[in-house]
Structure 1
Amino acid sequence: MSENAYIKLVEGSEQQTVTLDELKEWFSYYKYITSKTGQQVEWNYSSKAFPYEIKETTEQSQDWFYLASGEDRYKHIILGVSKEKIILDDETEKIQSYIQITLPDSSTYGDKGKANEFCKFLAKKLKGELHLFNGRVMYYYPRR
């Protein structure tokens, strides 16, 4: 059965919406900074740190894409953006954006570890509310 993690963009977040193109840019930036770590230690770390490439389906979906790896311990991670309707404490409704990270049935434990790392990176950069695969919640935004 597939597993999901969510990064919800709440009131205290850096931004209130996110697009698929922005998500792809964050992915590229993450790969870049992990490759810099390899340069500092004089080791080709970029191929191991986050061994994924963006793959898009033929249907050109506007709300998701997947990351595929050619390494033997890694397979797939699916990333998407969406919105949900939430009810606030004062009974008013609000539209809230979120990023969904899905591990399909074919994913490995290596994929789960890399997905957790990337989720934490994104949540920290966006100051979001991270709902991990195990159901726990991490708050990266200033709480009152």
Structure 2
Amino acid sequence: MAWQFSCDKCRELFSGDFNSPFEGILCANHAGLEDFLMGSSCSSLPIFIGLSSIGSMGFLRNPKSFLMVIKAVIESTDYRFILFSSGYQPLDSAIRSVASLAVESSVEAPALSNDSTLLFNNRLFCLSGSIPYSWLFPKCAAAIHHAGR
């Protein structure tokens, strides 16, 4: 099964050919990702991190610590990252927790949508809903991906 956009609106816009330009506007959940990919002043492409079922298999025991590792990498490099949580609830909760702390301290903007959040000076785009990898991967410098089960 090929990954698709998690909403019907965006799925219909692309109808399978992700390399050709499309007409239309993505939904709010996916427009944030497109803005992150295209609108950044950073010249480097982001790095994709997709954990798929790794969390539900028990290999991600401390999601908040995992986010802090990504933060440390962001602070020591010029890279931006896209983190696909695959809807793994403990990771999604950790993302919301870190985002709420940032909002309380007025460091960052609140969540973009129910499915996406920007963290760490807008250099980590966290996404819970699904996206087609054939559309996303060509827009990334690298992909760190666990295929899941």
TM-score (norm 1): 0.28
Give 1 or 2: higher strand fraction: 1
Give 1 or 2: higher helix fraction: 2
TM-score (norm 2): 0.28
Larger radius of gyration: 1
